[in-house]
Structure 1
Amino acid sequence: MEIFATPGAAGIIEKNENGIDYILIQERVKENAPLENGLLEIPAGKIREFENIYNCLRREILEETGLNVLQIEGEDQSTIFEENGYRVLNYKPFASAQNIAGNYPIIVQAFICKVEGEIIMKTNETRNIRWVSLKDLGNLITNDSKKIYPMHIDTLKCYLKFKGFSW
């Protein structure tokens, strides 16, 4: 039986407080992948059939963190083309990653987001949701990357470089 990769969306949720840049991270809690439980990740999830990727991202962030998405970078430049019964969304994510080996065949498009609301501390898929400074994130990636879900490591490195962080 042929198995296909699942499409997904992820959010690099950022904020600046007192001149310090932060992103939101959480710990994975997955019934079907117990060896990954506790790994740090950014909020992400699967795209439903014919679901707009931006709507998926809003839904997943709300489900996993309790936060409402205010802005997704690049959404305002996306376009929709309709012809012959098709409706096609064209967009440009911040980063893309695909698991090509391991336990979970998924392709994830990551976007930079702004949010509002109060963080919930635990869901059925996540726990210990918290803000981490870019400096601490850089140190974690440099010194202890085994604590991070592998799919998100290069996306986070790309984000740190984009924000001017160098190590």
Structure 2
Amino acid sequence: MTYPFDCITDFIFVETEIAPADVILVPGANHPQLMEKAASLYKQGFAPYILPSGGYKPHVGTTEWNYLQNIGIENGVSEAAILKEDKTPYELPGGRLEEFESFLEGLRREVHEETGLHVTMVFGEETKIETNDEDSNVEAMKPFAVYQTINGPVDSLGAYFRCQASGNLVKEGDETEDIKWISVDELHSSLEKNLIDFSWVDKSGIIYYLKWYYMQKQKM
């Protein structure tokens, strides 16, 4: 069953506070336990539908959506209650940091896992400092931009980094498919003509970058 994403108005995101809603959102197959939790919430009557992520996981040999769908069915969810987006929007490479992982380590790991590329330069890396105490280490640095959701399915805070990378794009990465480069001008034109769409979080980062990019061009 497909379901246009913009028709869903009330969400449960399985990692946040739980309340009755239209649908339960489930991210990535790296965390199948979240689908199990979603199945439990579904059976408790919190929402009539579950919407899993739709990327690709090569190590399980199937699409991520099918992988999560199977977990849901195994845990008592009706097949008709597991939704599939009509069209999955593009996302920038990224993800959550592992416990006590540094910004740069996490950045390089996520980019390589999802695209096959190796980050060779991070603009702003020279601003990084570390404080080391007897029982703690803390880093601080200047990212390209930060974001905070002020409405939406989940409260989220994150950072964007501007990088250079080398290597060859993989056909399918960790939770990713249809990986591609796109020029800045083509990106700008495609967004204006609604020929391309980005996830609700990454769209703000893309627009912020385009504004910065064209301001820099005007200064030249």
TM-score by length of 1: 0.73
Matched, 1:130 2:177: no
Q: 2:100 aligns with which of 32, 50, 53?
A: 50
Task: Mark the CA change 1:88 to 1:124 in structure 2 (over 3 Å): closer, same or farther.
Answer: closer
Larger % of helix: which? 2
Matched, 1:150 2:185: no
Displacement of 1:102 in angstroms is 3.7
Q: 2:131 aligns with which of 61, 74, 81?
A: 81
Alpha-carbon RMSD across the aligned residues, in angstroms, is 2.7
The answer for the alignment partner of 1:163 in structure 2 is: 213
Partner Cα separation in structure 2 for residue 144 and residue 35 of structure 1: 18
Task: Mark the CA change 1:37 to 1:109 in structure 2 (over 3 Å): closer, same or farther.
Answer: farther
Runs of 5+ in structure 2 lacking a partner? 1-14, 18-53, 56-63, 69-82
Partner Cα separation in structure 2 for residue 145 and residue 97 of structure 1: 24
The answer for the alignment partner of 2:118 in structure 1 is: 68
Identical amino acids, percent of aligned pairs: 27
Partner Cα separation in structure 2 for residue 146 and residue 58 of structure 1: 26
Displacement of 1:101 in angstroms is 4.1
Runs of 5+ in structure 1 lacking a partner? 5-27
Displacement of 1:145 in angstroms is 7.6
Displacement of 1:77 in angstroms is 1.3
Matched, 1:99 2:149: yes
| Mapped contact 1:141–1:153 kept (Cα < 8 A) | no
Larger radius of gyration: 2
Q: Number of matched residues?
A: 142
Larger % of strand: which? 1
The answer for the alignment partner of 1:7 in structure 2 is: none
Q: Which has the higher contact order (CA 8 A, sep 6+)?
A: 1
Partner Cα separation in structure 1 for residue 184 and residue 139 of structure 2: 32
One-letter amino acid of the counterpart of residue 52, structure 1: S
Q: Deviations over 1:24-79 (max 9, x none)?
A: xxxx7264695396211110111111000110000000000001110111112110
